[in-house]
């Protein structure tokens, strides 16, 4: 299996490319701001063709270039219905004050006009998305946004890993996603962590939307937010 990534844009959001191997179709997970140049380079080097764009949630740093990937390669974009409206209006996920600050801080004075891709599909809880021989299982994990999802695949490499989870801004190395933005809900986040993370095997690798990879076992041991839930039983 081929799995690679690069940080994109001023917020260094991780964009992941997943395929069976070189010369095959692939999935692109969270193509955020300024992702196209690096993405094209990976696709060219590995002779890959995007067959799906998978969005973990509708924040702009994770889906800014989703429309561009879909248009250039003619592939569908998968996103949970609760965040779908953000494809056409990504700034709706943050307050007007925060949007103005981001425009000033990152030079976003000229925000492009966003429109939905031609083919948008619902990444609902329990869905299985097939991309050239790889099955992505969708878990709906609201809390960071109402439509946050994670995508899990079975791992077939030599490493002692049962699954890989693309966690977006739901679960990080030593932390979790913030819940103070528009649509965030701390109670939902706790429920999602309890119901969707704690039951997973320790050897599941977690690939977050920002920062370094981790594992469920490591997070169970060091993540204070999970420790609190474990303490509660």
Q: What is the pLDDT of residues 9-32, one digit of tens each?
A: 989 999 999 999 999 999 999 999
List for the chain the helix, strand, coil content (%; round to 5).
Answer: 30, 25, 40
Question: Going edge to edge, which strands form the sheet with 77-79?
Answer: 2-8, 13-19, 25-29, 49-54, 77-79, 120-122
**CB atoms < 10 A from the CB of 30, how many?**
29
Residue bearing the bigger pLDDT, 107 or 152: 152
pLDDT at 192 over 80: yes
pLDDT at residue 139 in the model = 98
Q: Where are the domains of the chain?
A: 2-232
pLDDT at 130 over 70: yes
pLDDT at residue 89 in the model = 87
pLDDT at residue 81 in the model = 98
pLDDT at 136 over 70: yes
Q: Whole-angstrom Cα distance, residue 52 to residue 38?
A: 17
pLDDT at residue 91 in the model = 77
pLDDT at 195 over 70: yes
For the 2-232 domain, the top CATH level (class) is: alpha beta
Lowest mean pLDDT among 48-52, 89-93, 203-207, 222-226: 89-93
Decide: 77 and 87 in contact? Cβ < 8 Å. yes
pLDDT in tens, 53-90: 999 999 999 999 999 999 999 999 999 999 999 999 88
State if pTM tops 0.85.
yes
């Amino acid at each position: 299996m081929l799995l690679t990534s690069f940080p994109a844009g001023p917020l260094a959001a991780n964009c992941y490319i997943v395929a069976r191997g070189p010369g095959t179709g692939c999935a692109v997970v969270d193509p955020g701001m300024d992702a196209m140049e690096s993405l094209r380079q990976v696709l060219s080097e590995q002779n890959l063709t995007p067959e799906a764009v998978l969005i973990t949630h509708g924040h702009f740093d994770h889906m800014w270039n989703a429309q561009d990937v879909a248009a250039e390669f003619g592939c569908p974009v998968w996103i949970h219905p609760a965040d779908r409206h953000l494809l056409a209006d990504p700034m709706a996920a943050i307050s007007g004050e925060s949007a103005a600050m981001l425009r000033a801080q990152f030079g976003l004075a000229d925000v492009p006009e966003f429109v939905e891709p031609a083919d948008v599909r619902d990444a609902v809880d329990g869905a299985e998305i097939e991309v050239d021989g790889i099955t992505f299982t969708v878990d709906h994990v609201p809390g960071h946004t109402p439509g946050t999802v994670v995508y899990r695949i079975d791992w077939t490499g030599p490493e002692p890993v049962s699954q890989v989870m693309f966690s977006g801004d739901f679960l990080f190395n030593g932390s979790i996603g913030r819940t103070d933005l528009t649509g965030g809900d701390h109670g939902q986040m706790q429920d999602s962590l309890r119901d969707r993370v704690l039951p997973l095997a320790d050897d599941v690798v977690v690939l977050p939307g920002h920062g370094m990879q981790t594992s469920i076992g490591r997070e169970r041991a060091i993540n204070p937010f999970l420790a609190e839930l474990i303490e509660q039983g």
